[in-house]
Structure 1
Amino acid sequence: MSDTLTSPEAPTTGSRRWLPVLLRQPPFRRYWSAQTVSLFGDQISALALPLLAVLGTGAGPAEMGYLTAATLLPNLLFSLIAGAWLDRYPHKRRVMILADLGRGVLLAAIPIAYLFGFLALEQLYVVAFLTGTLAVLFEVAHSALFVSLVPRKDYVDANALVNGSRAMSFVAGPSVGGLLVQVLGAPVALLADVLSYLLSALFLGRLRPTEPAPVGPTDESERGFGLAAGLRFVARSRILRATVLGTTTLNLFNYMFAALFVLYASTELELSPGLLGLVIGTGSVGALLGAVITGRLVRRFGVGRTLVLSFVLFPAPLMLVPLAGGPTPLLLAALVTAEFLSGLGVMMLDITAGSVQTATIPERLLGRVTGVKRTINYGIRPVGALLGGTLGTVLDVRSTLWIATVGALAGVLWVLPKPIRGLRDLPERED
């Protein structure tokens, strides 16, 4: 029997009464648990892997740009192909499980190599690229699983719960990751992410969703199967086109920033791994707040205005990072404020943009349109990372951070015109 959310709701008595409605449903609860544990582990790796490159292999600005680009490049290379294939493949959940297991094996190879003394920066590049490739398969398949489990009217609430988990992982993951790196070393800290992938695969294995029917190769309504159908849909949809271009602009500059932030904080600002993790974790309380309040903001001001606000609130506070300096308390206050407000903004953006885009895309095109979005939106990230590393070497790291933070604000220009700004509720699904 398949898992759906149309079955009678679980009783609300006892310890489950305090749970949100969606989490009282076993199918969504398993899906959410898989996302939560994986996101937590990812935050540990997001700190441990670059710190391992900096402290373990002596990576500089250019090498940090290469490492970030290696993780993100598969989005540019494989998203379209993955979307076209997954629209035809009937078992998206199976792909997600195999991607989890594959990423766990790849990350486990790093501490093994470290233990035997042959860990090199080139190995980190390879692992980053392969785990990024599996992440593309996982995320493209994820969109179909989401619509299989969540009714359209609950998209904002479901995205708020998933992004709430992401916010919690931002709070706890870097702090725990920084502590593990400082006490046990970066290679050992990566084992926590290996465990998270195994647990995610276990939770997904317990799901039995009714997945969208695969597209038939002879269906006349699906001409342009491969790449063209998804590209045409994004190009013709005013809503989807504006949100994709806006987030792509923001991501270009934000990943210039991301490629250099750990290097800047650990070398020029001289923060220890533990303190760096604590700063990021403490600042990310804003992300948790964003997950809590976004639904209320949408109901009060409309999804369009909330989305526009998030395009400003995400990048603007990061200007405090290149401004930070002076006595340690003042330095830490600036970094925490930047992380707090930026985390609030990114959660608002993820929830509103994700809900608007999911509501717009027809189910039969989910894989292809998701592939197109990731190719454009995520594909620009390695470009930003490489550009950040290059400018950090040619100019200096602080000047590059200024360019990145100011440039990211240009993303809001794409979503200011109608129909985005005027959206009160989620748009109707387009065809």
Structure 2
Amino acid sequence: MTGRTRPPPAPLAPGTGQNRVSEPGGDVRRFWSAYAVSALGSGIGAGALPLVAIFLLDASDWQVSLLAVLGGLAGVAMAVPLGPWIEFHYKRPTLIAADLIRFAALSSIPAAAWLDVLSYGQLCTVAVVQTAAMIMSNAASQPYLKALVPACERARVNSRLETTTWTTGALGPPVGGLLVSVTSPVASIGIDAISYLLAAFGWRRIRRPEPPPPTSGGRKRWLVDTVAGWQYILAHRTLRQLFFNALLFGGCIMASTPLIAVYLLRDLHFNALQYGIALGVPCAAGVAGSLLAPAIIRRVGLGRTLLYGGAARCLWMGPILLAPPTTAGLVLIIASDSALLLCAGIFNPAFATCRMAITPDTHLSRVVGAWAMTSKVVQPVCIAAAGVLAAAAGIRTAIAVLAVVLLGSAALLPWTALHHPAEPNVPDAMGSL
């Protein structure tokens, strides 16, 4: 840690009005800075591992696919036993360790390429370690943020993080693509690795002492503690409904992405530039939604924002099938995707805030970890199922089925179970970070 001339402030109880997030140079700003630099690096390095496999190692199609499968499933398998450990230990050291692990794993690729010893096995190992460390980081960051931010400020802070996610997700890939075209995929991986090192230093700069973590009470029940995240989700009506809605929504969106790409490029005969525009422009709507979320939550309440935003984001895949292969069709596709991402940008901060509020500190790390691990398993299954359906019945039919399933997922939202006893009191006046 950088040198200080005064001792750190005493711990504050979460939810108090002290240590406001708007405090200049405050710890939430440091949290956001670490998160932002990591997200930007991830955006720049998005998709770089498969490109290294293709361009540097001349990997076959099945090897590229296997790289993605191993990265997801084996990474989840590595992360599962870490849940109880993360829950019952301090979260900031876990965040630092997760980023240092990702830095070491990713930086090994440029080093191996420079030494001419890079192998396909190393890429698979890095993919697995990176996924496990990502889940580890997610499981630690939400409880840490909950302890750091007063309850009345969480919706606004989650909205700011969501804005950062959308912004870096829109800006990072084009920068990464430029780096790949000018140099090689190794360069974007190197920048991604450095971003994790900088993020680790960012977490280290947070001054406020972390509250003591929950204790296991001296129990030695590894299996019980490991599955406790899933058990808590399934036993809690609101979380259970949000969980299955999230799995269906994420699975449909991920499964539709390659199908819509083929549909636009092959069936509608749009060129690469038009496809890039259709892919990139709607990201601005995600940013807009995340910026609007705090005001909407303040005006209509967290519960209504969660329900109506969650339902609205399920409406917009079907209209894509109505688009003709003309400029008007391209505009319709952009408008549909923009509406989807606008609603998602509003929903996501409300969801993150709600999950923080209704999950006790004794289970939050394991709940978030279980959520991320299940998504990592379900999404590849949905992609594979949609691919089989497209091969058997055609692209349009597969997209139509996904649109219907996506629409039906809105019924899984907690329309009757979500009352508002745990809803944070979002103040009228919201400052800036």
Q: Name the amino acid aligned to 1:159.
A: N
CA contact (8 A) 1:291 1:347 kept: yes
CA contact (8 A) 1:3 1:207 kept: no
Alignment of 1:15-54 (within 5 A): 21-22=21-22, 24-49=24-49
**Correspondence 1:282 to 2:296:** no
How far apart are residue 143 of structure 1 and its match? 1.8
Q: Name the amino acid aligned to 1:44.
A: I
SS of corresponding position for 1:46: coil
Number of matched residues? 413
**Correspondence 1:408 to 2:428:** no
SS of corresponding position for 1:418: coil
Instruction: Give deviations 1:22-58, integer Å, cap 9, x for gaps.
Output: 3635211010001111111212222444555677757
Q: Distance in 1 between matches of 2:323 and 2:82?
A: 42
How far apart are residue 380 of structure 1 and its match? 1.8
How far apart are residue 276 of structure 1 and its match? 5.8
CA contact (8 A) 1:264 1:398 kept: yes
Q: Name the amino acid aligned to 1:426.
A: E
How far apart are residue 8 of structure 1 and its match? 6.0
CA contact (8 A) 2:314 2:410 kept: no
How far apart are residue 395 of structure 1 and its match? 5.5
Q: Name the amino acid aligned to 1:357.
A: R
Q: Name the amino acid aligned to 1:37.
A: V
Aligned to 1:255: 254
**Structure with more of its chain in helix, by fraction:** 1
Aligned to 2:153: 154
CA 271–423 in structure 1, closer or farther in 2 if over 3 Å, else same: farther
TM-score (norm 1): 0.80
CA contact (8 A) 1:70 1:382 kept: no
Q: Name the amino acid aligned to 1:364.
A: T
SS of corresponding position for 1:226: helix
For structure 2, the 5+ residue unaligned runs are: 1-7, 426-433
Aligned to 1:183: 182
**Correspondence 1:196 to 2:187:** no
CA 396–350 in structure 1, closer or farther in 2 if over 3 Å, else same: same
Q: Name the amino acid aligned to 2:101.
A: G
**Correspondence 1:369 to 2:367:** yes
Of 409, 415, 418, the match for 1:417? 415
Q: Distance in 2 between matches of 1:355 and 1:127?
A: 32
How far apart are residue 246 of structure 1 and its match? 1.1
RMSD: 3.7
CA contact (8 A) 2:307 2:413 kept: yes
Aligned to 1:344: 342
Instruction: Give deviations 1:149-184, integer Å, cap 9, x for gaps.
Output: 111111111101111111211232233233333333
CA contact (8 A) 2:83 2:366 kept: yes
SS of corresponding position for 2:169: helix
SS of corresponding position for 2:206: coil
SS of corresponding position for 1:363: coil
Q: Name the amino acid aligned to 1:238.
A: R
Q: Name the amino acid aligned to 1:367.
A: S
Q: Name the amino acid aligned to 1:150.
A: V
Aligned to 2:96: 97
CA contact (8 A) 2:51 2:185 kept: yes
Aligned to 1:293: 292
Aligned to 2:141: 142
Q: Distance in 1 between matches of 2:103 and 2:28?
A: 23
CA 315–24 in structure 1, closer or farther in 2 if over 3 Å, else same: farther
Q: Name the amino acid aligned to 1:156.
A: A
User: Identity rate of aligned residues, in percent?
Assistant: 24
Instruction: Give deviations 1:242-266, integer Å, cap 9, x for gaps.
Output: 1112111212222222465667777
How far apart are residue 85 of structure 1 and its match? 1.2
Q: Distance in 2 between matches of 1:344 and 1:369?
A: 26
SS of corresponding position for 2:22: helix
CA contact (8 A) 2:76 2:132 kept: no
Q: Distance in 2 between matches of 1:262 and 1:141?
A: 35
Of 405, 421, 426, the match for 2:423? 426
Aligned to 1:354: 352
Aligned to 2:431: none
CA 203–336 in structure 1, closer or farther in 2 if over 3 Å, else same: same
Instruction: Give deviations 1:375-405, integer Å, cap 9, x for gaps.
Output: 3344322322343455455565565444334
Q: Distance in 2 between matches of 1:34 and 1:135?
A: 14
For structure 1, the 5+ residue unaligned runs are: 11-20
How far apart are residue 135 of structure 1 and its match? 0.6
